[in-house]
A and B are shown apart, each in its own frame.
Chain A
């Protein structure tokens, strides 16, 4: 299981990359492994939308489950990954790269501090049974 060092993680298995005031969001390697083969992904927000903390930003469906993707922090959407709808399988093959879902400008970058770092997330995943 991969947990890149430069990312922040949530307990609901999203990752965030912070570059300046812009955060990129996706789901983790652990999440894609739990979901198994992803067949569909829909980004539920558009550029310019204001995101509240814990609001749903995307929906993923795999052959065995459907899951919502949430943002742990507030912000305003600046870009969405239009390609993802056409190739949802990259969520399985490249969760931290091509499977990024959206970029948004954080209202308060300090909010990210409450999230887990790679070590904490890795430990958190290990405590969870299957």
Chain B
């Protein structure tokens, strides 16, 4: 890292804020989470160190080499080789939008295409240039709704079937707003409760209602009634989506959702142990001035040629910092580009095909697992590519044994929903062949028999 300050300048800055050394600034981070010195004995050669590190690395199990039935927000989809080879072109190395953005017409055009594709997919009018991930995009929906009502509606109603980490990030983003009050529906009730249980929480104080589609537990609900109720109370509705599922499902724009957000990872981004990913954020044109992040527009120059510009920049941080409605100024440019390439390669029919494969394979897996003694597929609701299975044993134990057989088992729901003991959330994608699904079913039988 290049730090331009001299030692004298650094010590002067530390002195003026009353701190002895730079490491003191990190005191709030527990010691065990800070990077410590590597314990490399003196005199060891680079060759020897590398050899040892390779041995450690080889001990890792990699998702790509296992049969993966784990999802819960991140999914194992095929990424065509063209995505990476286009992405690695030198022209795209700097994802950062320059301060005179119009000089980078290629960057702006790619963002414009991204916005257009996401708007089409979600059925919404406007999409911004992206966020860090699905969780932060969801949090920005809360921020936008709060500002839309100028702080006069302090309540946000969250479904307990929204991704638990998204709910946590939303709470982190909004905890600085003293007057905001977040109500998570389904608390005390079963996590399996119907979203209609949210209706009684929606009132004139409510700024935003957040639901997920398909929800974290894989279920698909018709939210038309919920949207209607929210709108009658004057509240906005945000729907968190899996973009691949929209290849089959009615887009939230068609059921009058006000905000659609989601995780872009299933669209051409490798799982990569948790990131970098991509958040997308779509809304209606009437809310565009309260939308966080940046927006690229298409225009014509003085000579009538097509060109791309950053629009609505007057509200951005570098112009009006204290009034900026969010602190996202740059974006996940390179990741958004990967998603754009991926969507362009798939096309409308390709995306439908991927969604169809996920749907049918998941339903085949559910049917086969339901035949196993002691296993039960939970829920009467339709599902897309993920479903809950009640197992005869503790899920953590099953997953440990499955790993020995080369399978990455489903998500252990007890971690987030204590009442869902022995419940496994199984995800299936186009990457799981029928043979692999049959083997997984067989493996489940074996590990539960022990």
Contact = CB atoms under 8 A, between A and B. Distances in A.
Asked if A and B bind, the verdict is yes
Interface of A: 40, 42, 44, 59, 61-66, 68
B314 A62 contact: yes
A64 B323 contact: no
A44 B314 contact: no
Contacts of A68: 323
Contacts of B289: 40, 42, 61
Of the four ranges (under 10, 10 to 19, 20 to 34, 35 or more), the interface on chain B belongs to under 10
A43 to B, nearest CB: 11
B150 interface: yes
Contacts of B224: none
B320 interface: yes
Given A40-B289, A42-B289, A65 B150 contact: no
A61 B314 contact: yes
Contacts of B50: none
Main secondary structure of the interface of A (DSSP, over half): strand
Contact of B323 (A62, A63, A66): A66
B150 A44 contact: yes
B315 interface: yes
Given A40-B289, A42-B289, A61-B314, A66 B319 contact: yes
B302 to A, nearest CB: 15
Contacts of B315: 61, 66
Interface string B91-106: 0000000000000000
Contacts of B312: 61
B320 A66 contact: yes
Contacts of A40: 289
A66 B325 CA distance: 13
Interface in B140-158: 150
Contact of B319 (A42, A59, A65): A65
A31 to B, nearest CB: 15
Interface string B263-286: 000000000000000000000000
